[in-house]
Amino acid sequence: MSISASEVNNLRKATGAGLMDCKKALTETNGDFDAAVDFLRKRGAKIAAKRADREATEGAVIALTSADNKTGVIVLLSCETDFVAKNDGFVAFAKEIAEVALAEKPADISALKTLKVGAVALEARLLEEVAKIGEKIDVVHYELVEGENIVPYIHAGNRMGVLVEMNNAATDANISAGKDVAMQIAAMNPVAVDKDGVDAATVEREMKIGREQAIAEGKPENIIDRIAEGKLQKFFKENTLLNQDFVKDSSMSVAKMLDGVEKGLTIKQFKRVQLG
């Protein structure tokens, strides 16, 4: 049957697929618009299956918070190439997913994929995008944080996102401080907020390394554990957020900087999501 240019254009507007793909879909479905949409989704599923073993190490990370700063999300939408990752349409799609996640607060990625992003559930929408772009695309990381005052930060062209939960009600001053802390987290990649947040396995490993170094340096047996403990404290200072030197002013720690902005201000938790 003859397929008109307007029919092809309408399908293209609805799905974002290429002109030739839209024409083929309409031809295969005898001009049935809804069936043509399903045809394109199925094509996306076939492409996704063929590319299932491909590495999708590029993508876009979006960090957003609600207007009242009480909810924050990070979404990582992956793809295969840097070319696609930098495409405005791809980044806009990642942001659209994050906005839905922020509004609906799904518990995990599986729940997120059941929510509508546009006219259809995200799971189906992803297949549409795969059919349109021809690459493996998926939501591979999702974080949800709820609290009193959450500050977002997106670093390095959507290649990393950070959420910082602060303990005090939002003000211009502490939101600005939170942004500085988020930038610190992006740059320094701390393992925990403070030493109490470092897991026992990491503490044991650092103590073991400290002992081995002391032995290798020929230190007396009776001071090996003391030396290892000193090295552990240095690890805490360099790798836990509140104890780190503040990047913008190394004369003070992050904890001291926060307390100077607002008495008692501190960080309750943070999330850091990075490509690769």
* CATH number, domain containing residue 41: 1.10.8.10
Alpha carbon distance 115, 118 (integer Å): 9
pLDDT at 39: 82
Residues 78 and 19 in one domain: no
Query: Of 146, 172, 196, at which residue does a domain stop?
Result: 146
pTM for the complete prediction? 0.80
Using the structure block, give the residue that is written with the tokens 């309408």.
10
pLDDT score at 46: 59
Structural tokens at position 81: 């190439």
Q: 129 — phi, psi (to 5°)? A: -70, -35
Q: What is the pLDDT of residue 117?
A: 95
Separation between Cα atoms, residue 194 and residue 191, nearest integer Å:
9
Asked whether residue 34 falls in the same domain as residue 63, the answer is no
- If asked whether residues 142 and 86 sit together in one domain, one would say yes
One-letter identity of residue 7: E
Residue 176 CB: number of other CB atoms within 10 A? Answer: 12
The predicted structure's pLDDT at residue 21: 81
Is residue 233 a part of any domain in this protein?
A: no
- pLDDT recorded at residue 42: 78
Angle value at C-alpha 73, between 70 and 76, nearest 5 degrees: 170
**With contact defined as beta carbons under 8 Å apart, do 198 and 177 qualify?**
no
Domain boundary among 116, 131, 146: 146
Q: Is residue 131 part of a domain?
A: yes
Cα separation values, 17 from 9, 20, 122, 128, Å: 10, 8, 17, 8
- Asked whether residue 31 is assigned to any structural domain, the reply reads yes
Picking from 122, 146, 170, the residue at the C-terminal end of a domain is 146
* Predicted local confidence at residue 115, as pLDDT: 97
Q: Is-contact 115 106, C-beta < 8 A?
A: yes
Q: How far apart are CA 163 and CA 68, in angstroms?
A: 14
pLDDT along the chain (276 residues), means of 10: 82 76 86 84 64 75 97 96 93 97 97 93 89 87 97 94 96 96 96 96 95 92 94 96 96 97 96 93
| 29 and 81 part of one domain | no
User: How confident is the model at residue 47, as a pLDDT?
Assistant: 60
Per the domain annotation, does 158 fall within a domain? no
Q: Is residue 15 in a domain?
A: yes
pLDDT digits (tens, 9 = 90+) for 154-211: 998 899 999 999 999 999 999 999 999 999 999 999 999 999 999 999 999 999 999 9
User: What is the DSSP code string of 110-179?
Assistant: HHHTTSEETTEEHHHHHHHHHHHH-S--EEEEEEEEESSEEEEEEETTTTEEEEEEESS---HHHHHHHH
Q: How far apart are CA 65 and CA 24, in angstroms?
A: 42
Indicate whether 225 belongs to any domain. no
* Amino acid 48: pLDDT: 54
With respect to residue 163, please indicate whether it lies within any of the assigned structural domains: no
3-state SS of 38-106?
Answer: HHHHHHHHHHHHHCCCCCCCEEEEEEEECCCCCEEEEEEEEECCHHHHCCHHHHHHHHHHHHHHHHHCC
Whether residue 118 sits in one domain with residue 91: yes
d(CA 117, CA 127): 12
Domain that includes residue 27, residue range? 5-50
Q: What is the largest CA-CA distance in the chain?
A: 90
Classify residue 262: in a domain, yes or no: no
Please tell me the total count of domains within the chain: 2
Whole-number Å distance between alpha carbons of 193 and 93: 32
Q: Tokens at residue 147, please?
A: 């609290």
